[in-house]
């Protein structure tokens, strides 16, 4: 992009901050390629949501389409949870090896997983894979105290997670958010005030209002996840103050 405008600085790939993680829910290969032709330069990772990778017939071709544009891929944490629930953890590792998937999401948003067991799994997987662990419940009625969020985040980073994902679901109505979609602002403040670097966090933020709040609160280079591929360009304009929602935040007097 060439312009004489003064815009917030954005790093080129491979990015450590300002990452955009998209949620692939099973759109077709041609549609994926078309969207990547426009937005691929702004995408850092594509997650095949929940268990969609098991029922996507052209999975190998889709993985290749992402990788051709320098985009990592991973499977949804729900798939990890199912393999773990059925006692087939080694089969899950074998599947990732077969497909040369180098990023693994470790979550317990649906199943009951002892905290110590989760930490041990992160430690084991981090020896071979880049681990993205997830904190927060997918059950909108389950409220986890900020102290427990902070404890889990710090422990999972220490265990070897490269990033910790803050749960928001595809709908943006659980975990980090109230059922209305409103962000739990106090929770975010307490996590950051506890000394957790936002550079090590991925905030799931599928809705524009959530993206706007996080960009204003943390900056243009906040790491955001669960973004629809068709919404990557609109998100990039929010990061740069090229949309009304953030224009005055970045460019006002």
Domain of residue 234, CATH code: 3.20.20.70
In a domain, 165, yes or no: yes
Domain membership of residue 4 (yes or no) is: no
Nearest to 161 by CA among 190, 188, 191, 200: 200
- Is the pLDDT reported for residue 139 higher than 90? no
Q: Is residue 60 part of a domain?
A: yes
33: exposed, middle or buried (Cβ count in 10 Å: 0-12, 13-18, 19+)? middle
**pTM value?**
0.95
d(CA 140, CA 71): 31
Domain of residue 205 covers: 20-251
Q: What is the mean pLDDT of residues 243-247?
A: 98
**Burial annotation 174-213 (CB, 10 A radius, 16+ → b, else e):** bbbbeeeeebbeebbebbeeeebebebbbbbbbbeebbbb
Could you report the per-residue pLDDT of 90-113, keeping only the tens digit for each? 999 999 999 999 999 999 989 989
182-186, 240-244, 249-253: range with lowest mean pLDDT: 249-253
Number of structural domains found in the chain: 1
CB 128 within 8 A of CB 92: no
Residue 7 domain-assigned (yes or no): no
pLDDT of 1 reads: 66
Task: Give domain status of residue 1, yes or no.
Answer: no
Q: Does residue 139 lie in a domain region? A: yes
Tokens of 245: 């929602």
Q: Which of 60, 56, 103, 54 is nearest to 79 (CA)?
A: 54
Does 3 map to a domain? Answer: no
- Does residue 210 sit within a domain? yes
User: How high is the mean pLDDT of the chain?
Assistant: 95
What does the pLDDT read at residue 51? Answer: 95
147 or 2, which is more confident: 147
Q: Residue 22 pLDDT > 90, yes or no?
A: yes
Question: Which pLDDT does position 73 carry in this prediction?
Answer: 98
| 170/203: higher pLDDT | 203
How crowded is residue 143: how many other Cβ atoms within 10 Å of its Cβ? 12
């Amino acid at each position: 992009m060439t312009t004489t405008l003064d815009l917030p600085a954005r790093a080129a790939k491979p990015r450590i901050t300002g990452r955009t993680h998209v949620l692939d829910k099973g759109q077709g290969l041609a549609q994926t390629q078309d969207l990547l032709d426009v937005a691929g330069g702004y995408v850092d990772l594509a997650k095949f949501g929940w268990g969609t990778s098991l029922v996507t017939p052209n999975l190998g071709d889709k993985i290749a389409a992402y990788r051709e544009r320098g985009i990592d891929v991973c499977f949804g944490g729900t798939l990890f949870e199912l393999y773990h629930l059925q006692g087939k953890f080694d089969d899950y590792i074998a599947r990732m090896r077969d497909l040369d998937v180098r990023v693994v999401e470790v979550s317990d948003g649906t199943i009951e997983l002892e905290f110590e067991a989760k930490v041990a799994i992160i430690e084991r997987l981090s020896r071979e894979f880049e681990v993205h662990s997830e904190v927060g419940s997918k059950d909108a009625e389950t409220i986890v105290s900020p102290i427990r969020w902070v404890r889990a985040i710090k422990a999972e980073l220490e265990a070897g997670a490269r990033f910790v994902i803050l749960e928001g679901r595809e709908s943006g109505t659980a975990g980090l958010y109230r059922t209305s979609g409103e962000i739990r602002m106090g929770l975010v403040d307490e996590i950051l005030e506890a000394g957790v670097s936002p550079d090590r966090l991925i905030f799931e933020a599928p809705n524009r209002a959530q993206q706007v709040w996080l960009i204003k609160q943390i900056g243009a280079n906040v790491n955001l996840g669960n973004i629809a591929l068709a919404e990557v360009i609109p998100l990039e304009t929010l990061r740069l103050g090229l949309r009304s929602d953030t224009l005055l935040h970045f460019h006002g007097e």
